[in-house]
């Protein structure tokens, strides 16, 4: 499309191409935004489902008579149940991230850690009386 400038000289415009390019980028941007929103929604749904599963697990272990503690491979507490809190007089939010050596005398902590290492070697939880 040619237009004339003031004074009569022709000016080439690419208005149609500019709109097409803008339209293509706009569609791509809309598509990317929709994809990101959909991905975010799916991630939020997965997170909500995981939280529901975690809440259910906590309800189950809190309503058993067993004393339950979950620790990572380095012996740091990840979670304890209500019976653990009552037996040792510590709140679960205060124990997360601590090791048994942070909480108990050395010999008791060493015994607990030995049991943790046995469970790690077996690849399964162990029951201690």
- The DSSP output letter for 120 is H
| Residue among 110, 106, 107 nearest 75 (CA) | 110
pTM over 0.85: no
For 32-69, write each residue's pLDDT tens digit: 555 666 877 888 888 999 889 888 888 888 998 888 88
Task: Report the pLDDT value the prediction gives residue 33, as an integer from 0 to 100.
Answer: 55
How far apart CA 107 and CA 46 sit, in angstroms, is: 42
Residue 12: is its pLDDT beyond 70?
Answer: no
Which conformational region is residue 123 in: left (phi greater than 0), alpha (psi within -120 to 50 degrees), or beta?
A: left
Residue 109: what pLDDT?
A: 93
Please enumerate in sequence order all residues whose Cβ is within 8 A of that of 119, keeping only pairs 6 or more positions apart, or say none.
125, 126
Residue bearing the bigger pLDDT, 24 or 62: 62
Burial (Cβ within 10 Å: 0-12, 13-18, ≥19) of residue 103: middle
């Amino acid at each position: 499309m040619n237009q004339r400038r003031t004074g009569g000289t022709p000016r080439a415009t690419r208005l149609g191409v500019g709109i097409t390019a803008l339209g293509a980028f706009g569609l791509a941007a809309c598509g990317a935004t929709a994809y990101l929103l959909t991905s975010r929604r799916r991630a939020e749904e997965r997170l909500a489902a995981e939280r529901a599963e975690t809440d259910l697990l906590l309800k189950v272990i809190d309503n058993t008579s067993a004393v339950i503690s979950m620790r990572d491979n380095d012996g740091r507490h990840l979670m304890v149940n209500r019976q653990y809190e009552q037996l040792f007089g510590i709140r679960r939010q205060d124990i997360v991230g601590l090791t048994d050596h942070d909480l108990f005398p050395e010999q008791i902590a060493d015994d607990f850690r030995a049991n943790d290492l046995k469970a790690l070697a077996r690849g399964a939880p162990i029951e201690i009386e």
